[in-house]
Amino acid sequence: MRAVIKIIRGRLALVSLTLALTWGGWPSTARAQAPEAETSYYSTRSVLAAFFPGSERVTYQTFALDPALRTRLAQRLGYAPARDRYTIFVAHTQGRVDGYAVIDDELGLHQPITFATRLSPRYIVERVEIMVYREPRGDEVRDARFRKQFEGKTAQCPMRLDRDIDAVSGATVSSASIAVGVRRAAILVEELAPGMSAAASTAATSRAGIGATAQRTSVGR
């Protein structure tokens, strides 16, 4: 008799668990997160090749932010930088700087959006590309009409959504995320590139001289 009761209780527990999972009554970490639908459009190598097709070489420097630089960036951004290190790519031809690029992430609705920003030698935004989009909706930010709005912007431009930048219908959060990220890229390049340019022209240099340590490495094409 006791064995029969145990079997019945076990079956009831199984039914309760099934119902809870089916109807959403069971606490689950998976339910708290939006489903990920990752689509990759560019790798680092391919986006740099697209940004600088005529350049002889592309190098990069990774800057470790010291406290003074973090404070200065936070003041300009309006929030503390999420990373302790940022990488700036620079394209060269015959000793001349062709432009800069930043590859970064910015949180969308649930998942980070990986994007790349190309800037001119004078730190003007020239092109923005979405590299990886990880959510089932909102990838309309890849539309050329949206991305073209950033061309000509600088670190001094607020890039505010619906004032300086028009959001894409149905992708408001992603639009805002890209606006925040592109502005950060422009500020990072304006802050870091002056020291980087000196390092690019002098192979022996090991310090950016602007409150950040730098590493210089060639990027294969």
My answer on whether 59 and 138 are in the same domain is yes
My answer on whether 186 and 159 are in the same domain is yes
Residue 187 to residue 161: CA distance in whole angstroms: 17
Who contacts 34 (Cβ-Cβ below 8 Å, separation ≥6)?
109, 110, 111, 135, 136
Who contacts 87 (Cβ-Cβ below 8 Å, separation ≥6)?
60, 61, 62, 63, 102, 103
What letter does residue 56 receive in the DSSP assignment? Answer: S
Tell me what pLDDT residue 12 has: 42
My answer on whether 21 and 93 are in the same domain is no
Q: How would you class 52 by CB atoms within 10 Å of its CB: exposed for 0-12, middle for 13-18, buried for 19 or more?
A: buried
My answer on whether 18 and 124 are in the same domain is no
Tell me what pLDDT residue 2 has: 53
Q: Mark the ranges of the chain whose per-residue pLDDT is less than 70.
A: 1-36, 197-221
One-letter identity of residue 165: I
Give me the domain span that covers residue 10. Answer: 2-32
My answer on whether 96 and 126 are in the same domain is yes
Is there a contact between 126 and 149 (Cβ–Cβ < 8 Å)? Answer: no
Tell me what pLDDT residue 182 has: 98
Which pair of structure tokens corresponds to residue 134?
């990880």
My answer on whether 123 and 21 are in the same domain is no
Residue 156 to residue 137: CA distance in whole angstroms: 31
Tell me what pLDDT residue 196 has: 76
Tell me what pLDDT residue 44 has: 97
My answer on whether 22 and 61 are in the same domain is no
My answer on whether 9 and 93 are in the same domain is no
Residue 142 to residue 75: CA distance in whole angstroms: 30
3-state SS, residue 52: coil
User: How many domains is the chain partitioned into structurally?
Assistant: 2
Tell me what pLDDT residue 125 has: 98
My answer on whether 89 and 196 are in the same domain is yes
My answer on whether 112 and 133 are in the same domain is yes
